[in-house]
Amino acid sequence: MTNNETIKVIDPIEHVRSNPRMYWGVDEPTADVVNSAILEQYEAENCKSIVVEEISGWQVISTETNWVKGLVDDEKQANEIFLDAKGFPGGGGNGLRFEALLHIMVDDLSISIDGNLIVVKGNMDEAMKEKVRKISINKVTIAYSGTCFKK
Counting residues of the chain whose pLDDT is more than 70, the rounded percentage is 76
Residue 136: pLDDT band (50, 70, 90) is very high
Q: Residues with Cβ < 8 Å from 27, sequence gap 6 or more?
A: 20, 21, 149, 151
Q: pLDDT at position 26, please? A: 60
Residue 129: pLDDT band (50, 70, 90) is very high
Q: pLDDT at position 151, please? A: 39
The structure's pTM equals 0.79
Q: pLDDT at position 135, please? A: 94
**Residue ranges per structural domain of the chain:** 12-145
